[in-house]
């Protein structure tokens, strides 16, 4: 397992370099001269030229990219145009809220999705099964920002059970986590159902039934363990959507997280923050994918991932 | 010496060529049996009809400001109420169908066009071409959710056109991966060897003989992707990065409605419902298409 993790870490290097390259190239697409942008509209030609040298913009593009990669690996993502603070510090100040939101949403995705999927599979074609699958179809199609606003209107404005916006207490977490986790829960529910249905048709489950084992033991001890493998993959994939989705949900619930930082930075044309924010979120996603692969291997030792 | 290769169905013996339509008939029969897919198809057709007929069925001009009647709840005069500038929400929603559908179709077209070409080249040539393209796909897939689109829009500037490009680029790796996999399978089939031995060039083999045979997963993916594209584009407009005022794009309408959530919740309710039902339509129709066209893709 150790060798496998090392190998996967090494394989990640070209992907990370590629991600940095894409972010770097996207920022090259920005119309206008970044030196003018940074120096301000009214800056003199001398100041702009100085800024160009300072930023390395007078260097060939490959040198600029190499310098950018070098800086990124040192944690230097540049300086925010708005606050003049290092981008790294700005991101680190906002990241905890986003990670908390993503973890709370993953909890909703996994728990709600798996319970719904198991109930659906064990009671195939019943009213409960059909209801769950219809809700799952709706769940995949709901725009998270609309669901968020509907939840705010119902539970915060009308019933006054939860705060309208903000972050800090467990009460702040519930509505955003449901908003962000619903689509994932719907996908996990569908996946759990089909995976469980595949497993319960296997011979060893029939044997377990013939032995007279209780249904709960068969489901949770024997069937679920093997049904988990495809579910883990789906949950891992969902994490990417969750990270991307935080942008919208943080905006709806006014949460000061990484997603909102990126959106605010786009509005203010604070490009170093956009660049750094997208990069950090993608690096986190690449590492989560590695974690998913390791878990996949752990739960399914028969697969030779080498 | 080069030999001119006839299109696939003409190259087949008459019996086989005659048997070809039955594949589509089987597909249609399967699709028709799937009631849920038919419901999805009807929803999609309904919205396409609305998009086409919007200028004829919209009761008001979607841009006409009437400040006297601003923020009116749904009534007999304005079925879906009015917005903060007194514009008729229903008319804006009907016209918005054109915008939201166009964004979805254009974005998927961009994604499919480049994704198909990359996937075909990668799967057919293999070797270093495959390695390079596959690494590009890996890198593009390493961006979580809509963050890649967000980064592109931030560079190009907020506009509906840029959202189409951004969401299109976001879809390229998905199509490329599927097409690459299908191409790898099809290129090993005997008929491709036969065509090659007749002297057909790579272009003819790829675009006239492989491409028509991998259409099923592409059609399924395009339908499913339309749902994602419409959702992503609406999300970007909701954030103020897509359609700009006064365009009646659904995501932008929802964003505007957010400011009046406490006083006029209908402003957010109707566009949200429209996005959800259209996306639901594409999702369930796509599910049905997959089951009928390419059951192996079913998870």
CB-CB under 8 Å, A145 with B238: yes
- Give the pLDDT score at A82: 82
pLDDT in tens, A97-121: 999 999 999 999 999 999 999 899 8
A22 lies within 8 A of chain B by CB: yes
Who contacts B31 (Cβ-Cβ below 8 Å, separation ≥6)? B37, B38, B41, B288, B289, B292
Q: Which residue in this structure is represented by tokens 């990241």?
A: A95
CB-CB under 8 Å, B254 with A145: yes
| Separation in Å, CA of A213 to nearest CA in chain B | 29
Phi/psi zone of residue B77: left (φ > 0), alpha (ψ -120 to 50 degrees), beta?
Answer: alpha
- Confidence bin at B10 (pLDDT 50/70/90): very low
Closest CA to A243 of A274, A286, A276, A189: A286
SS3 content of chain A, % helix, strand, coil (to 5): 80, 0, 20
- Strands (E) located in B31-154: none
User: What residue ranges define each of the domains in chain A, with the CATH number in brackets?
Assistant: 2-87 (no CATH), 94-299 (1.10.3720.10)
A286 lies within 8 A of chain B by CB: yes
Q: State how far the Cα of B210 lies from the Cα of B203, in Å rounded to an integer.
A: 10
Return the residue in A141, A157, A265 with the most chain B beta carbons within 10 A, the one to mutate for interface testing.
A141
ipTM: 0.86
Which neighbouring-strand residues pair with A79?
Answer: A86
Task: Please provide the distance, in angstroms rounded to a whole number, between the alpha carbons at the two ends of chain A.
Answer: 10
- Give the pLDDT score at A302: 56
pLDDT in tens, A1-35: 788 888 888 888 899 999 999 999 988 887 777 77
pLDDT in tens, B49-94: 999 999 999 999 999 999 999 999 999 999 999 999 999 999 999 9
CB neighbours (10 Å) of residue A62?
8
- List, as ranges, residues 180-199 from A with C-beta within 8 Å of B: 190-191, 194
């Amino acid at each position: 397992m150790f060798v496998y993790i090392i190998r996967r870490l090494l394989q990640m290097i070209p992907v990370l370099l590629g991600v940095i390259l894409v972010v770097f190239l996207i920022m090259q697409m920005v119309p206008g001269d970044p030196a003018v942008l940074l120096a301000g509209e009214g800056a003199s030609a001398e100041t702009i030229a100085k800024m160009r040298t300072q930023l390395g913009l007078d260097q060939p593009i490959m040198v600029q990219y190499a310098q950018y990669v070098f800086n990124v690996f040192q944690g230097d993502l540049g300086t925010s145009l708005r606050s003049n603070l290092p981008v790294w510090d700005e991101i680190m100040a906002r990241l905890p809220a986003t990670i908390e939101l993503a973890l709370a949403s993953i909890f909703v995705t996994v728990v709600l999705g798996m319970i719904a999927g198991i109930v659906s599979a064990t009671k195939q074609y019943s009213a409960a099964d059909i209801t769950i699958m219809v809700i799952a179809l709706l769940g995949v199609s709901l725009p998270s920002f609309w669901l968020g606003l509907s939840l705010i209107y119902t539970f915060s404005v009308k019933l006054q059970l939860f705060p309208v916006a903000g972050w800090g207490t467990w009460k702040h977490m519930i509505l955003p986590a449901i908003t962000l986790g619903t689509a994932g829960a719907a996908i996990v529910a569908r996946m759990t159902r089909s995976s469980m249905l595949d497993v319960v048709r296997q011979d060893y489950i029939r044997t377990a039934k013939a032995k007279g084992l209780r249904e709960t033991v068969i489901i949770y001890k024997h069937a679920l363990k093997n049904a988990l493998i495809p579910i883990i993959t789906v949950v891992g994939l969902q994490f990417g959507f969750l990270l991307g989705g935080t942008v919208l949900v943080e905006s709806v619930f006014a949460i000061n997280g990484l997603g909102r930082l990126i959106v605010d930075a786009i509005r203010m044309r604070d490009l170093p923050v956009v660049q750094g924010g997208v990069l950090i979120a993608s690096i986190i996603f690449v590492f989560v994918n590695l974690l998913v692969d390791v878990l996949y291997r752990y739960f399914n030792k028969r697969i030779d991932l080498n | 010496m080069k030999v001119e290769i006839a299109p696939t169905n003409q190259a087949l013996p008459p019996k086989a060529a005659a048997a070809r339509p039955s594949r589509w008939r089987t597909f249609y029969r399967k699709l028709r049996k799937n009631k849920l897919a038919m419901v999805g198809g009807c929803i999609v057709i309904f919205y396409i009809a609305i998009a086409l007929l919007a200028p004829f069925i919209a009761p008001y001009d979607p841009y006409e400001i009437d400040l006297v009647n601003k923020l009116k709840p749904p009534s007999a005069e304005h079925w879906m109420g009015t917005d903060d500038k007194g514009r008729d929400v229903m008319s804006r929603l009907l016209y918005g169908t054109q915008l939201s559908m166009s964004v979805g179709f254009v974005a998927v077209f961009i994604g499919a066009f480049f994704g198909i070409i990359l996937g075909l080249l990668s799967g057919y040539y293999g070797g270093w071409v495959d390695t390079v393209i596959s690494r590009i796909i890996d890198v593009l897939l390493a961006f979580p959710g809509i963050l890649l689109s967000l980064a592109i829009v931030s560079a190009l500037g907020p506009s509906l056109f840029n959202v189409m490009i951004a969401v299109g680029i976001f879809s390229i790796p998905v199509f490329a991966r599927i097409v690459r996999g299908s191409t790898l399978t099809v290129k090993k089939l005997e008929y491709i060897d036969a065509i090659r031995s007749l002297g057909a060039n790579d272009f003819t083999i790829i675009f006239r003989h492989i491409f028509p045979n991998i259409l099923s997963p592409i059609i399924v993916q395009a339908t499913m992707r339309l749902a994602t594209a419409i959702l992503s584009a609406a999300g970007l407009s909701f954030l103020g990065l897509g359609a700009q005022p006064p365009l009646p794009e659904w995501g932008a309408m929802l964003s505007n409605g957010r400011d009046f959530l406490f006083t006029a919740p209908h402003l957010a309710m109707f566009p949200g419902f429209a996005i959800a039902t259209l996306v639901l339509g594409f999702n369930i129709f796509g599910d049905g298409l997959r089951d009928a066209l390419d059951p192996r893709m079913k998870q």
